Amino acid sequence: MRVRKAGGPLFVIALASLFIVSLSGFDYSRHSIPLDEISDGGPGKDGIPSIDNPRFLTAEEADGSMLRDADRVLGFSYNGHTRAYPVKILNWHEIVNDQVGGQPVVVSFCPLCGTGMVFDANVKNRKLKFGVSGLLYQSDMLLYDHQTESLWSQIKSEAVTGPMTGTRLKLLASMHTNWGSWKKKHPQTMVLSEKTGFQRPYDRDPYQGYESNSRLMFDVGLMNSKYPPKEKVIGIEMDGKAKVYPFSELSRTRSPVQDVFNNIKIQIFYDKVTRTAVIKDSKNKELPSVVGFWFAWFAFHPETKVFVAEKR
DSSP state of 208: T
Over residues 135-185, the pLDDT tens digits come to 999 999 999 999 999 999 999 999 999 999 999 999 999 999 999 999 999
pLDDT at 29: 85
Distances, alpha carbon 61 to alpha carbons 70, 85, 191, 261, in Å: 17, 14, 9, 41
Percent of the chain's residues with pLDDT above 70: 92
Over residues 192-229, the pLDDT tens digits come to 999 999 999 999 999 999 999 999 999 999 999 999 99
CA dist 59 and 83 (Å) reads 10
Is residue 17 within 8 A of residue 35, CB to CB? The reply is yes
Percent of the chain's residues with pLDDT above 90: 88
Identity of the residue numbered 157: S
pLDDT at 200: 97
Q: What is the mean pLDDT of residues 41-48?
A: 92
User: Which region, left, alpha or beta, applies to residue 170 given φ > 0 means left and ψ of -120 to 50 means alpha?
Assistant: beta
pLDDT at 24: 64
pLDDT at 312: 61
Residue 119 parent element (H or E): strand 115-120
Whole-prediction pTM: 0.91
pLDDT at 20: 46
**Band of the pLDDT at 8, cuts 50, 70, 90?**
very low
Is residue 230 within 8 A of residue 214, CB to CB? The reply is yes
Q: Which of 23-27, 48-52, 69-73 has the lowest mean pLDDT?
A: 23-27
**Band of the pLDDT at 257, cuts 50, 70, 90?**
very high
pLDDT at 311: 74
CA dist 76 and 174 (Å) reads 5
Shortest CA distance to 143 belongs to which of 54, 50, 240?
Answer: 50
pLDDT at 17: 44
DSSP state of 35: G
